[in-house]
A and B are shown apart, each in its own frame.
Chain A
Amino acid sequence: MQQAIARLTQRLPPDRVRQDAAFNAAFESDGLTAFHQKPLAVVIPESTEEVIATVRWCHDEAIPFVARGSGTSLSGGSLPVADGIVIALNRLNKILDLDPVNRTAVVEPGVVNIKVTEAASKDGLYFAPDPSSQTVCTIGGNVAFNSGGAHCLKYGMTSNHVIGIKAVLGNGDVVGWGSPSTDAIGADFPGLFTGSEGLFGIATEITLRLLPKPETFHTVLVGYRSLQAAGDAVSAVIESGLLPGAMEIMDALSIEAAEAAVKCGYPKGCAAVLIVELEGPRERVEYETQQLADVIARTDPYAQHVATTLAERLSIWKGRKCVFSAVGHISPDFLVQDGVVPRNRLGEALVRIQEISRDVGIRVANVFHAGDGNLHPMILYDGNVPGEFDKAEEVCSRIIKVCIEMGGSITGEHGVGMEKREFLPDMFDPATVELFHRIRRAFDPLEIANRGKMFPGADAPSLSMSGLHPLEKAGVISRE
């Protein structure tokens, strides 16, 4: 093994390959902190050529590698493999081109998501996919996981905004797919690469589509007496012909946590709040404001607050955005789940989650991207109480099974990674999983790119995530 590493160091400039334990400790796990694995080495390339040289060495030596952006994956996607290397891409962080005429940006994979919007905003543009981790996570990680956020219903996930990819594949080939045009001829390889969870190879250059920034926002917070009523209100808004930029729901426990953490002033005594945000040119938003008010009036609201200033809008969102870090105020530990149900079965899904929670005797706080049926239940437990963690895990897997049963998905944005790989065959039949395997092997015959992820494997360590990501603890980011 060490001889192979010596051959790698010969291919790269000095200091790119790190084997010191103290330095590498930071790469032993990602946001799913319970999984730990020491890598053989960490490689920190500073150019695309160095990434290519490293991957080709991996291929020649049959050594597995894991690409790593900022390591904020919540599903163990960037966990190292035993006897494999980590290729950390943070130093490839240049925005290579930003073209306001074409409305595109060409970026290196280590560029942090928010940096694209910051750079584009002088031209009135922004990059629509906005995971809550956007101040830290990288475009490479977003592409691998097809990441999302609060605005997916209207603008789609990351893949809707990726039109070109250059990559070095697991077989060592360097490929360039797509173009600066949003139109294409032939099969859509950038579309296939996006969401492939690092199993095909490493994206080294990504062409992104940019959108004009909405002129106006109209943000409304509505309290309801039951979760079912809040879920039904979402369907009522959709059926009225409105297309809000975001629709989010929080249940009583989440409200309690948010109030304890940031005193966001949400209406007291309601079982759920719904946040609806309209956006667009002011004339259209003004018209839709009335339409929305009429719809909400018919949904038997318990309380209502319309933001009239930017400060009020931000205060409504503050409560929503802090929920994950806020549950620390009401529970010592928690697991977070990420599943999808058909939106018109949201109410039913929530009732089922409450039943599971009662049945197992573990509290569950719910927040979700209601516009697209993406649930993020937080399963609250105390790791010091014997047996509580196992109960929390049981709740987690029963919820994901409900999502599958209802025709939804095992992940809306966090990826399958390590965490959900055992559930993949519950969502896809054997023939489809076999097709996935064949496609993967077309790009990576030795299966060295992110080995062990997405597909079920006998050696899966059990899920035991608890608490906050270190960056959340440090107050750098929070989850939506």
Chain B
Amino acid sequence: MNNDTVSQPTSIDELRDALLCCDKAVVVGNQTKSPLCMSGEPHTTVSVRGLSGVVQYEPSEFTFTAYAGTPVADVQSVLSERGQYLPFDPMLVRAGATLGGTIASGLSGPGRFRYGSIRDFFLGAKMILGDGTIVNVGGKVVKNAAGFDIPKFLVGCCGEFGAMAEVTFKVFPKPIDSATLSLRCDSAEQASQWMATAAIRRWELDAIDYHHATSTIYFRQRGPRDTNQAIAADMKTQYAELQPVDDVVAETFWSSINELDWHAPAAVIVKIPSTPRQFPSLCDAIDQAIPASLHVSGCGSVVWAAVESPDSLQTLETVLTQQSHRGLCVRGKAESLHLNRPSTTKIEMAVQRAFDPSGRFKRQFASHPHGTVSS
């Protein structure tokens, strides 16, 4: 269900006023037709797009603070000028991702393998609660143990605990160069073994992904070109079939993963958290059940399933339920946002009430499990 009313505040005060003006608000960034921006109830869409720009950036501090509606692409270019980057590989940057939407969606790209996902780089936020109060959670320094770590909690919360207005991230120096290597294998099981071994070797790889349809592992290294070559030579002694991937081809490949368009146009893309041990049987089971294009990222920590028809989602849900996995539809037409959604606990509802006593924001843990979504 969607509403036509769209509010576009351009300051934090206006954002608070906009929220207080409506009974039910869905806060969005770039307001793409994403399943995550839907609500099962009539609502006003409040876009933070007008709250954009970097507020504070000191390269030697390894942090920046920016308004939540700032496009990630803008931030990336500011950081890049000073040789820094967001190592968790933000997703959908070309598609227009904003910082707030990136946090709320909780999506991280292949680079999350090396230093951790978005939760490990998000330090603090100024946010507006359901009753209009403005709070400042976390901090603006790279290390802080004071108060509850609410920033971590907000990652993946889909805007259901408050509206983020300003956010602070940790950044790292951008490695000088990168090199990608590919390795064909016989099965997902073999891929899992090889990936797991590579993950604990001395090489300290930056990303380890697996493309299921072509049974290919992709290893990404980051560092000076010469050292990348030396490490690649050592890896070759371990995996005889290892092939270097041309830089331009590699760039296109990694970008297609980040933009979630590695597959032919798909109806729905589902994020399925997994592990190196679990993903082979998960991939094989999905393969047998429905036509799907599968990509495994973060050395097995997430399986992206691009499903050709929305009708297949029900079957996918059955497979996930059988294998005790959960899925989140992040793109395209889907009847339901969550697959194999666990039932809500009273604690989860109590915490949501703590943030939003009047129930202004959409409810992750509401009684209606399925909101209708469209793309």
Contacts and interface: CB of A to CB of B under 8 A. Distances in A.
Interface string B41-82: 000000000000000001111110000000000000000000
Given A188-B155, A191-B119, A428-B136, A215 B202 contact: yes
B152 interface: yes
A342 B145 contact: no
B146 A188 contact: no
A406 to B, nearest CB: 9
Nearest to A286: B227
Contacts of A192: 148-150, 152-153, 351
A459 interface: no
A379 to B, nearest CB: 20
Contacts of A407: 140-141
A13 interface: no
A258 interface: no
A436 B364 contact: no
A16 B193 CA distance: 45
Given A183-B117, A283-B230, A159 B152 contact: yes
Contact of A409 (B112, B145, B273, B275): B145
B354 A179 contact: no
Interface string A426-451: 01110110111011111100000000
A336 interface: no
A343 B62 contact: yes
Interface in B211-235: 223-224, 226-227, 230-231
Q: Output the residue of B144, B203, B278, B300 with the most chain A CB within 10 A.
A: B144
Interface string B94-128: 00000000000010100010011101100000000
Given A212-B204, A373-B142, 10 more contacts: A102-B196, A104-B275, A155-B115, A183-B108, A281-B231, A408-B139, A413-B143, A413-B145, A427-B146, A435-B129
A15 to B, nearest CB: 33
B142 A415 contact: no
The 5 closest A-B pairs by CB, nearest first: A191-B152, A442-B350, A438-B354, A215-B202, A181-B273
Given A102-B277, A152-B143, A428-B147, A212 B200 contact: yes
A270 interface: no
Interface string A146-175: 111000111111011000000001010101
Interface in A230-254: 235, 238-239, 241-243
B141 A408 contact: yes
A241 B173 CA distance: 5
Contacts of A414: 145
Contacts of B368: none
Contacts of B354: 435, 438-439, 441-442
Contacts of A441: 354
A225 B106 CA distance: 47
A286 B226 CA distance: 11
A284 B62 contact: no
B331 to A, nearest CB: 15
Interface of B: 58-63, 83, 106, 108, 112, 115-117, 119-120, 129, 133-137, 139-150, 152-158, 160-161, 172-174, 176, 192-193, 196, 199-204, 223-224, 226-227, 230-231, 271, 273-278, 298, 300-302, 326-328, 338, 345-348, 350-351, 353-355, 364
A195 B144 CA distance: 10
Q: Output the residue of B83, B136, B141 with the most chain A CB within 10 A.
A: B141
Contacts of B199: 103, 212
27 contacts: A102-B300, A103-B276, A124-B201, A146-B149, A153-B143, A156-B116, A157-B143, A157-B145, A171-B347, A173-B346, A183-B274, A186-B106, A188-B152, A188-B153, A188-B155, A212-B204, A238-B59, A284-B227, A341-B141, A372-B141, A372-B143, A409-B146, A414-B145, A427-B147, A432-B135, A439-B148, A442-B353
Contacts of A156: 115-116, 120
Interface of A: 99-104, 123-125, 145-148, 152-157, 159-160, 169, 171, 173, 175, 179-189, 191-192, 194-196, 212, 214-215, 235, 238-239, 241-243, 280-284, 286-287, 340-344, 369, 372-374, 407-416, 420, 424, 427-429, 431-432, 434-436, 438-443, 454
Contact of B347 (A148, A154, A175): A175
Q: Output the residue of B273, B278, B326 with the most chain A CB within 10 A.
A: B273
A186 B156 contact: yes
Nearest to A442: B350
B204 A281 contact: yes
Contacts of B271: 183, 185
Contacts of A184: 106, 156, 273
Nearest to A200: B148
B118 to A, nearest CB: 10
A409 B161 contact: no
Contact of B60 (A102, A171, A179, A235): A235
Contacts of A189: 153, 348
A441 B357 CA distance: 13
Nearest to A186: B156
A123 B156 contact: no
A187 B364 contact: yes
Contacts of B326: 185
Given A160-B116, A188-B153, A239-B59, A102 B275 contact: yes
Contact of A280 (B61, B63, B172, B204): B204
A103 B224 contact: no
Nearest to A162: B152
Contacts of A243: 172-173
A182 B204 contact: no
A29 to B, nearest CB: 21
Given A124-B200, A212-B200, A439-B351, A185 B141 contact: no
Contact of B200 (A103, A235, A286, A440): A103
Contacts of B301: 181-183
Nearest to B199: A103
Given A243-B172, A281-B231, A287-B224, A412 B153 contact: no
Nearest to B108: A183
Contacts of B145: 145-148, 157, 195, 409, 411-416
Contacts of A99: 277
Contacts of B63: 342
B276 A195 contact: no
B141 A373 contact: yes
A36 B330 CA distance: 53
Contact of A432 (B83, B141, B147, B302): B147
Q: Output the residue of B106, B120, B277, B326 with the most chain A CB within 10 A.
A: B120
Nearest to A189: B153
A340 B143 contact: yes
Contacts of A181: 273-275, 278, 301-302
B153 A432 contact: no
A160 B106 contact: no
Given A180-B275, A435-B135, A343 B60 contact: yes
